[in-house]
Structure 1
Amino acid sequence: MSTPDADGLLAEQLLRLTRRVHRIQKRHLEQRALGITPAQSRLLRTLAHYGEPPRMADLAEALEVVPRAVTTLVDGLEAGGKVRRVPDPANRRVIRIELTDDGRAALRELHGARRSAAEEILAPLTGEQRDTLGDLLDTLVGVVPERGARKRRAC
């Protein structure tokens, strides 16, 4: 059974790992000279999961941030040609956000940067340790993976 001190130590280790992950991902993003911040990267990844262009309010909800934060991110990405604002065909007063071709190309680069960062972070672990870590993280974030999905992804 864990003690409060042990739980506090685990929480501190998780926070330190999170900060390390952010630093490494930021470095990999900077190396690719995309001019995209980690927050913009997250918005692009979120945007890519929508079937039709979402409203800014949808993005704010998905990102768990205030709408003003999304406006600032979209402004920067639009200035860089990665996204564009488009009127909703059903209600011209509603504005939706869609990826541009440059935005899709940036997503491919971002995927490569994230993969490189993950390889660097996970390098000290064996395949079995990675599977165990993945299972533990799934439990902590409340994800129920498809049976055997982690093993298939590793291949």
Structure 2
Amino acid sequence: MTTPDSDSLLAEQLLRLTRRVHRIQKRHIEECGLGVTPAQSRLLRTLAHYGSPPRMADLAERLEVVPRAITTLVDGLEAGGKVRRAPDPSNRRVIRIELTEEGRQALGRLRGARRSAAEEILAALSDEQRRALGGLLDTLMDGDAPTPTERGRGAGAG
């Protein structure tokens, strides 16, 4: 059984790990020389998952940020030639965001940078530890873990 102190320690460890992951990813992104921030990298990856160019509001919703943040990211990426704004063919008042060829090439280099960062972060773990960590992270991200109340009364009790 966990205690509030052990839960606090776990939360602190997760926060420290998150900061470390961000720091390492940022360094690897900077080393690929694209002049892209981690937030812009995330926007490019998100754009690549759409079948057709999304609206900025769609991107804001998907990335869980305010629309103004998307405008700033798109401005920077557009200035760098990685995306372009295009009017929607069915409603010219709607602006869609498209990846350019340069943006697609940048994505390839960014994938390599992310892969290198992951290798650096996970280097200390064995294959078995990596599988265990993957399972634990899936559980945390899916939200399937029992709440403290559910743990206290046992699984399946209700």
TM-score w.r.t. length of structure 2: 0.90
Distance 2:143 2:96 in 1: 30
AA matched with 2:2: S
Structure 1: unaligned runs, 5 residues or longer: 145-155
What secondary structure is seen at the aligned counterpart in 1 of 2:91? coil
- Output aligned runs, 1:48-67, within 5 Å: 48-67=48-67
What secondary structure is seen at the aligned counterpart in 1 of 2:92? coil
Distance 2:143 2:41 in 1: 23
Distance 1:29 1:50 in 2: 23
Distance 2:11 2:69 in 1: 28
* 1:32 positional shift: 1.0
What secondary structure is seen at the aligned counterpart in 1 of 2:97? strand
Identify the residue that residue 110 of structure 1 maps to in structure 2. Answer: 110
Instruction: Find out whether 1:10 has 2:10 as its counterpart.
Output: yes
- Output aligned runs, 1:19-38, within 5 Å: 19-38=19-38
Count of residues paired in the alignment: 144
Identify the residue that residue 153 of structure 2 maps to in structure 1. Answer: none
What secondary structure is seen at the aligned counterpart in 2 of 1:93? strand
AA matched with 2:11: A
The superposition leaves residues 2-49 of structure 1 with CA deviations (integer Å, 9 ceiling, x where unpaired) of 000000000000000000000000111111111000000000001100
Structure 2: unaligned runs, 5 residues or longer: 145-158
The superposition leaves residues 69-92 of structure 1 with CA deviations (integer Å, 9 ceiling, x where unpaired) of 000000000000000000111111
* 1:128 positional shift: 0.6
Distance 2:119 2:108 in 1: 17
Identify the residue that residue 124 of structure 2 maps to in structure 1. Answer: 124
- Output aligned runs, 1:70-109, within 5 Å: 70-109=70-109
Distance 2:63 2:143 in 1: 18
TM-score w.r.t. length of structure 1: 0.91
Q: For the pair shown, which has the larger CA radius of gyration, 1 or 2?
A: 2
AA matched with 1:91: N
Distance 1:143 1:88 in 2: 37
Identify the residue that residue 148 of structure 1 maps to in structure 2. Answer: none
